[in-house]
Structure 1
Amino acid sequence: MGREKEKEKPSEKALNLLRSRLSDPNFIFRPLSDSPDSNYSKLKFIISTSVTEACNNSILLLGPRGSGKVAVLELVLSDLLQQYPEAISVIRLNGLLHSDDNCALKEIARQLCMEHQLLFSKVASFDDNSQFMIAMLRECGLAHKTIIFVLDEFDFFAQGKQRLLYSLLDAMQSVNSQAVVIGVSCRLDVDQLLEKRVRSRFSHRKLLFLSPSKEDTERFMEHILSLPMDSSLPHNYAAEFNGRLKKILSDERFKELIDTYLSFNFTIGHLVRFLFQAVSYMDLNAGFLSLGNFKTALSSNQRQLKLESIRDCSVLELYMMVCMKRLEVKEQTSYNFYSVMTEYKSIHDSFQTSDYYAANVCLRAFEHLLQCQLISFIDNKGHNQSVEFRPVKLLISSAELHQGLKSYQQCPAILLKLMDR
């Protein structure tokens, strides 16, 4: 029994190590920072330039959720705070919490007071907090200290009158100020939401966080899953573990499996969650990862709620989603019920389909898609408008829709044909 326990220890240590790595954003994104062309290097250069050369900057980090925007930003900030501990102050806001201008400016004042050990007034007005922020920017600039404003969910700040953005960017026009505004958003067109007066004061720098290439994905997985040879793990065990891992990573079946997964979930965040699941399926008695672990993780991931929702849709609702996807392929970024109906009619006219319904029936199907959260309104504006006039977006990818159609028993053949085009 004692020997069996000893044999189990390396595999348990390895499992705990891999899980801790997959839960540590710094470890995950560190290899992606090696290249001078990486977003990490570019962002670090921009911010460090502001610190060392006492200049103002603004930049947008754009990309889908899970693509590593915040993780890379935090990695850069932690490195710079170590490098310039007395020269940087970080103020963090989130559009989900602070989209109201008064609330946001009050939060900035609160964090500045906390950072510089000043008394914070809860009853200060917007103008008072604005003047305080300007004064702090000036004082920090004179002290050669850079204030970094991180605005997560930046698109929420770009709604309404945008008084916060204007006040902040206008204050940065001062010669004495020394600040960086970093906006983080999932919307690639977020800069188009800015008013002219705000846009004219913005630096228009953007960093796009896209899905990793195949080479980056392979390098990333090897970095995450390989065991260190100089750790407390037995050398022979670590060597065999890494050898088996390389065989799995080079296996064509594994590559096909990863391609299948990434066709649905294409961000680093999704890949990390997938690897965490695969690692958790590792047999501790065997002590090594196997291709079966990844297959099990994939099958559990494919039971997605959206795919289940598609199976519960009517044929008409499938038509409407295919119409929306076709509009997106035609680069029509904004569409409403009537746009979808126009596309629906064109399909019927072109292929003489038997599945053609009246507008009021289609509207009910459209509303049901909203309830199922397969589509959603693009923004919160237009509450007073009728549902059919408000622009919407499809919340599932082409691959998910295609798989949902294939698994739908009564799916008309024309829909699969249209998706393959």
Structure 2
Amino acid sequence: MAGIAAGAGRRGGDVTEAEVAKVRRMLLGRLYGRAAPAEVVGQAAAVAAVEAVVRQTVESGEGNSVVVVGPRGSGKTAVVQQALAAAGSGGRHHVVRLSGFVHTSDGLALRDIARQLLAAQDAEGAGAAGTFAEALAYVLGVLRAADGGVAPVVFVLEEFDQLAQHPKQALLYTLFDMAQRAQTPVCVVGVTARVDVMDLLEKRVKSRFSHRLVHVHGAASLEAFTDIARTALHVDGDSQFARQFRQRVEEILSTPAVAAHIAAVYEIDKDARQLLQLFAAAVARLTAAEPLLCLEHVQRSIAHEAASGKMRVVGGISLLELSLVVAMHSLVRGGSSKYNFEMVYDEYKQFMSRHVIAAAGGGAMKIYKKPVALKAMEALVALEVVRPAGLSVAGPTAAAAGRNDLLAGTAAGARAPKEYRMVQLMLEPAQVLALMADRTDVPVVIRRWAQQ
């Protein structure tokens, strides 16, 4: 398996940059949920149920509504996209996509509805129409005039439960009410992770909803979960490139490290989005020179996902802040469980004075003055890499003021200078060494200092 990481990535036959770019766009669209997948693994019943509702509107002109419910990452959006793609051949129609996280008010939703229905030039007229229902009716009227007839409209409402937080639920009431009329065929497809979504709806909104609920569940087995990635990375065709691409995908999925990480994701939360993101970086790097997925890129994504949140935070700290971390690490090795800035700076200054450190670029690494180092220490405290030695250092007054404990006071309540307040490093020795290994800008002598 090790052989697939490097040179083997350059196979693929005679493939042009345009062909690779087309495959890259297609796969990234699937991985990021912008395009319908080739198949929604294990969700055939859910796709068929949503497709039937949409097809009734697209083909027969009936008003309908349905809400798709399921855990986050279970494939709800993919189910809706697949259903829309399958029902799309039934006739000419429009699709409007809204999100409760984006469209936080009815006004924002109305403007985006107008924009997506190609009636943005008449948005001012919609705004002057009066109520939200009148404004939306105006937009649909403009649409009918532009189409020269009545074209069905499918509204896809992501984060449906958030839209239910709007005042008087005017958006949902208007859409559900229009779905019961014969003027413009409207289909409303809600998507939510809340199983109690029906309890959020007002009585008047609930009375206009069809009460169709389609439940989506996570992958039933690890094999089905792996098939989600296999399907998303599938390239159709019988060309040499397509065959080799599918073979490379199989090789990567069967690699022990990749298979183990997929199993870990499945055991934790079965989140398909987290699974697919592992391959996004590798797909984004596809070129005509290297048209096949590279195992090394996938492994880097796995390593990034596996890293703790704490390590991600400290990954971008400055070299001075890193030096102070190593100084605290040195004090811990010397038996000091608690220390203050004066002790840390003294350790840092003594080490720097004993060594002449030349940076890779040829310049000397200087010893920073105490005020500069204190600012760096405060930055580490703000990142919560360093914390006060006692959790109740500042007491409730400082907590209420929103100030950091290190800068607020001491356990005894005295206003001691912050240079003398005792702190602790919140990184384990192994994490400090891992942090040094991940950085390429660290002088060799600093690395040795951390390893002593």
Normalised to the residue count of structure 2, the TM-score between the two structures is: 0.53
CA distance in 1, matches of 2:213, 2:401: 36
Q: Which residue of 2 aligns with 1:158?
A: 164
Q: Which residue of 1 aligns with 2:191?
A: 184
Would you say how many aligned residue pairs link Structure 1 and Structure 2? Answer: 317
Structure 2 residue 98 is matched with structure 1 residue 93: yes
Look up the equivalent residue of 1:157 and give its one-letter code.
L
The match for 2:259 among 250, 255, 262 is: 255
Give the Å deviation of 1:288.
6.7
Structure 2 residue 220 is matched with structure 1 residue 215: no
Q: Would the aligned equivalents of 1:282 and 1:293 in 2 still touch at CA under 8 Å?
A: no
Q: Which residue of 2 aligns with 1:169?
A: 176
Give the Å deviation of 1:286.
9.7
Q: Would the aligned equivalents of 1:22 and 1:272 in 2 still touch at CA under 8 Å?
A: no
Give the Å deviation of 1:193.
1.3
Give the Å deviation of 1:124.
0.8
Give the Å deviation of 1:35.
6.6
Q: Which residue of 2 aligns with 1:339?
A: none
The match for 1:114 among 103, 110, 119 is: 119
CA distance in 2, matches of 1:7, 1:135: 55
Look up the equivalent residue of 1:155 and give its one-letter code.
D
Q: Would the aligned equivalents of 1:11 and 1:287 in 2 still touch at CA under 8 Å?
A: no
Q: Would the aligned equivalents of 2:70 and 2:217 in 1 still touch at CA under 8 Å?
A: yes
Give the Å deviation of 1:258.
1.4
Give the Å deviation of 1:282.
9.4
Q: Would the aligned equivalents of 1:105 and 1:130 in 2 still touch at CA under 8 Å?
A: no
The match for 2:12 among 1, 5, 10 is: 10
The match for 2:54 among 34, 47, 53 is: 47
Give the Å deviation of 1:181.
1.3
Give the Å deviation of 1:180.
1.1
Structure 2 residue 289 is matched with structure 1 residue 275: no
Q: Would the aligned equivalents of 2:265 and 2:271 in 1 still touch at CA under 8 Å?
A: no
Q: Which residue of 1 aligns with 2:362?
A: none
CA distance in 1, matches of 2:185, 2:89: 19
Look up the equivalent residue of 2:196 and give its one-letter code.
D
Q: Would the aligned equivalents of 1:162 and 1:195 in 2 still touch at CA under 8 Å?
A: yes
Q: Would the aligned equivalents of 1:43 and 1:76 in 2 still touch at CA under 8 Å?
A: yes
Q: Would the aligned equivalents of 2:218 and 2:270 in 1 still touch at CA under 8 Å?
A: yes
Q: Would the aligned equivalents of 1:18 and 1:224 in 2 still touch at CA under 8 Å?
A: no
CA distance in 1, matches of 2:134, 2:224: 47
C-alpha RMSD of matched pairs (Å): 5.0
Structure 2 residue 170 is matched with structure 1 residue 195: no
Look up the equivalent residue of 1:31 and give its one-letter code.
E
Q: Would the aligned equivalents of 1:149 and 1:181 in 2 still touch at CA under 8 Å?
A: yes
Look up the equivalent residue of 2:265 and give its one-letter code.
Y
Q: Which residue of 1 aligns with 2:40?
A: 32
Look up the equivalent residue of 1:130 and give its one-letter code.
A
Q: Would the aligned equivalents of 2:68 and 2:213 in 1 still touch at CA under 8 Å?
A: yes
Could you say which structure has the larger radius of gyration?
2
Q: Which residue of 1 aligns with 2:365?
A: none
Give the Å deviation of 1:136.
7.1
Normalised to the residue count of structure 1, the TM-score between the two structures is: 0.57
Structure 2 residue 270 is matched with structure 1 residue 266: yes
CA distance in 1, matches of 2:42, 2:258: 26
| Structure 1 residues 21-420: aligned runs within 5 Å | 21-25=26-30, 29-32=37-40, 36-37=44-45, 39-85=46-92, 88-105=93-110, 107-108=112-113, 114=119, 120-121=124-125, 123-127=127-131, 129-131=132-134, 133-134=136-137, 145-159=151-165, 160-176=167-183, 178-212=185-219, 213-225=221-233, 230-231=238-239, 233=241, 238-239=243-244, 242-243=246-247, 245-246=249-250, 249-250=253-254, 254-264=258-268, 266-277=270-281, 294-305=298-309
Alpha carbons of 1:280 and 1:265: their partners in 2 closer, same or farther (altered >3 Å)?
farther
SS of the equivalent of 1:30 reads coil
CA distance in 1, matches of 2:115, 2:300: 48
Look up the equivalent residue of 1:220 and give its one-letter code.
I
CA distance in 2, matches of 1:109, 1:281: 37
SS of the equivalent of 2:153 reads strand
CA distance in 2, matches of 1:306, 1:207: 39
CA distance in 1, matches of 2:297, 2:114: 50
Deviates more, 1:286-295 or 1:167-176: 286-295
Look up the equivalent residue of 1:189 and give its one-letter code.
D
Give the Å deviation of 1:84.
0.8
Unaligned runs of 5+ in 1: 311-356, 369-403, 410-421
